[in-house]
């Protein structure tokens, strides 16, 4: 009985598995493995880019191949704008702070001294926001300064190579060349106009490296687009001469400003374009913004008597006058629409050459009124006085010439002697170039180009030759005698315009102008000189602008190796040489 009882107890306490615990553990295991599989599926199928980005961040590298800005040179290869290597110093605030770099007081003081900054402000720029990774400290440092900063070995202070624009010609060519900003982007002049060509595009190479930094795969290789050099039509020798003479004239006559434009009459190339006062493009600190503008293309003025040749040409073109025509200007004055038009004195009967030589307002008025209004106005528009010249220069004006239908006789008379319209010095030079080349209006250019436009015929060559001869008498026997150039035949016209006052009407300020051509036997060059608001007793164009023209023209003809054509002076010189005159 005892044995049976024992066996009964063994059957009663037989070990069993607790079901709920088993299922919990099994569930946890399935959940863990399920989560791992789901995460793997999510990363591999739904969002694999994140892992790829992480891998690329560790293995992908991009190296750039920077390019320097192209040079600007004159027609003879003289450099007017070049790029020079410089260094930029910058800071990584996170590295500076984490390495306790701000505690190196002596080194920071030395850094502040070389940068010309206060050490407290320098540190504050870095310590204010430690999360930043890049802060400029100074731009465009010289190599010597960069080497000194490198030797300071301040943690988190780095150097980066850049380039800086340098202008060897300085203020002489500042207005036409322009300048770049601190990021080497053109913002004025030709630097702005041809910024894309001068800049090019940087090259880059993308590659993958292994854990030891070795290149194992080149993924892409973008070649750099090399920047282009710009070769100008400007002759720096003429440019420097024109600026020197203009600057001296502005100072001598106490003028507020002035401009000189020199053109090749056959190609339309601008050989020189200068303004005064100018500025130093290498150091523009403290320079007033208005001094940056290129007055030769942006500023307009009433051209005064320099327009009288166009009135004579209009009469010749229409046929109301011939080369031998005589105009009676007596009694030296007349009234049109209740307003008086007059000459300084009664010149009586004048030929067309006499009208230009004496600068007769009466003569040009009668010629203008003899021509239909539409024809006269059409000639002024054909000369390009309401359009740009073709240079493409930034800020170029198209001038002010009204195209209204109604013009009074007095307004037409005023237009005949250069009032009632406003043009730029460059537009005036283009008109005189058309007289010089036989009546072709050519698009102007500041870039040297072997292929030139034939231009648009706007005047008959026979008439331009006749007017050219008339303009020669203005220089030989008229008010333009100060424009003479020894050894050369010169044609030109003076102009003195009263400036419009701010409140309307005319004030007491003048613009002295001279526009001329040489040599007359085979015209090559047209030059316009504008002296704005001379303050002394001399203010007429023949007094303040003609002497500048003479010196600039003389130098230009010599630089371009153009032979003298004044046979009278040449024969006189030969006689002196035969006699052994040392002064010859």
Q: Is 192 in contact with 176 (CB distance < 8 Å)?
A: no
- Compute the distance between CA of residue 497 and CA of residue 509 in angstroms, rounded to an integer: 9
CA angle 376, 382, 388 (to 5 degrees): 135
| DSSP β-bridge partners for residue 221 | 205
Which residues, 6+ apart, have CB-to-CB distance to 472 below 8 Å?
489, 490, 491, 520
> Among this protein's residues, is 305 annotated catalytic?
yes
- Specify the 3-state DSSP secondary structure of 36: helix
Catalytic residue among 173, 233, 259, 305: 305
Phi-psi domain of 337 (left: phi exceeds 0; alpha: psi -120 through 50; beta: other): left
CA angle 260, 239, 532 (to 5 degrees): 20
For residues 167, 171, 173 and 176, what is the CA-based torsion angle, rounded to 10 degrees? Answer: 100
**466 φ/ψ angles, rounded to the nearest 5 degrees:** -65, -45
Q: Which residue has the tokens 């003076």?
A: 494
**DSSP line for 70-134:** PPEE-TT--EEEEEEEEEEEEE-HHHHHHTTGGG-HHHHHHHHHHHT--HHHHHHHHHS-TT---
| DSSP β-bridge partners for residue 527 | 262, 516
Q: Is 415 in contact with 368 (CB distance < 8 Å)?
A: yes
**428 φ/ψ angles, rounded to the nearest 5 degrees:** -65, -40
Handedness of CA 578, 579, 580, 584 (dihedral sign): negative
Q: Is 60 in contact with 220 (CB distance < 8 Å)?
A: no
Identify the DSSP state of 536: S
Q: Is 202 in contact with 224 (CB distance < 8 Å)?
A: yes
Phi-psi domain of 69 (left: phi exceeds 0; alpha: psi -120 through 50; beta: other): beta
- Compute the distance between CA of residue 527 and CA of residue 241 in angstroms, rounded to an integer: 13
Listed residue (125, 114, 100, 116) closest to 150, CA to CA? 114
Q: Record the tokens describing residue 356, joined without a space.
A: 């230009």
Handedness of CA 317, 318, 322, 327 (dihedral sign): negative
**Largest Cα span, the chain:** 173
Q: Which residues are part of the catalytic machinery?
A: 305
């Amino acid at each position: 009985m005892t044995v049976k009882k024992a066996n009964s107890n063994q059957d009663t306490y037989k070990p069993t598995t607790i079901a709920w615990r088993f299922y919990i553990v099994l569930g946890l295991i399935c959940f863990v493995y399920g989560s791992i599989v789901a995460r793997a599926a999510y990363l591999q199928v739904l969002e694999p880019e994140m892992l790829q980005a992480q891998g690329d961040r560790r293995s992908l590298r991009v190296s750039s191949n920077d390019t320097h800005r192209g040079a600007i040179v004159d027609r003879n290869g003289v450099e007017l704008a070049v790029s020079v290597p410089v260094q930029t110093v910058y800071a990584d605030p996170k590295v500076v702070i984490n390495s306790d770099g701000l505690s190196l007081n002596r080194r920071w003081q030395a850094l502040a001294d070389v940068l010309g900054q206060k050490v407290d402000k320098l540190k504050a720029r870095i310590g204010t926001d430690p999360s930043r990774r890049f802060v400029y400290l100074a731009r465009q440092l010289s190599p010597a300064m960069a080497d000194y900063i490198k030797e300071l070995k301040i943690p988190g202070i780095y150097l980066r190579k850049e380039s800086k624009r340098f202008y060897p010609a300085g203020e002489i060519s500042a207005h036409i060349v322009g300048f770049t900003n601190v990021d080497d982007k053109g913002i004025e002049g030709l630097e702005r106009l041809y910024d894309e060509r001068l800049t090019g595009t940087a090259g880059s190479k993308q590659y993958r490296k292994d854990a030891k930094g070795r290149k194992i795969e080149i993924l892409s290789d973008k070649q750099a687009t090399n920047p282009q050099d710009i070769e100008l039509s400007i002759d720096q020798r003429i440019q420097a001469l024109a600026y020197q003479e203009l600057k001296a004239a502005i100072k001598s006559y106490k003028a507020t400003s002035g401009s000189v434009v020199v053109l090749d009459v056959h190609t339309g190339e601008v050989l020189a374009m200068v303004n005064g006062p100018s500025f130093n493009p290498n150091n523009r600190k403290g320079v007033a913004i208005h001094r940056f503008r290129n007055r030769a293309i942006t500023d307009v003025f009433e051209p005064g008597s320099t327009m009288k040749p166009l009135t004579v040409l209009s009469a010749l073109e229409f046929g109301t006058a011939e080369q031998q025509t005589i105009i009676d200007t007596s009694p030296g004055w007349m009234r049109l629409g209740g307003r008086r038009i007059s000459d300084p004195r009664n010149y009586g009967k004048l030929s067309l050459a006499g009208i230009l030589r004496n600068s007769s307002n009466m003569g040009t008025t009668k010629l203008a009124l003899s021509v239909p209004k539409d024809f006269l106005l059409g000639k002024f528009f054909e000369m390009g006085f309401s359009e740009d010249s073709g240079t493409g220069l930034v800020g170029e004006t198209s001038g002010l010439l009204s195209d209204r239908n109604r013009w009074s006789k007095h307004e037409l008379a005023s237009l005949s002697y250069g009032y009632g319209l406003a043009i730029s010095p460059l537009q005036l030079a283009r008109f005189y170039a058309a007289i010089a080349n036989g009546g072709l209006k050519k698009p102007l250019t500041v870039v040297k180009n072997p292929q030139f436009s034939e231009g648009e015929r706007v005047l008959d060559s026979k008439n331009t030759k006749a007017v050219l001869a008339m303009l020669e008498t203005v220089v030989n026997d008229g008010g333009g005698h100060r424009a003479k150039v020894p050894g050369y035949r010169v044609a030109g016209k003076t102009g003195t315009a009263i400036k419009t006052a701010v409140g309307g009407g005319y004030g007491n300020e003048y613009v002295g102008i001279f526009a001329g051509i040489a040599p007359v036997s085979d015209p090559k060059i047209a030059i316009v000189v504008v002296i704005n608001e001379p303050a002394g007793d001399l203010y007429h164009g023949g007094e303040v602008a003609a002497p500048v023209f003479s010196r600039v023209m003389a130098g230009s003809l010599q630089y371009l190796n153009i032979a003298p054509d004044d046979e009278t002076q040449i024969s006189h010189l030969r006689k002196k040489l035969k006699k052994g005159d040392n002064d010859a």
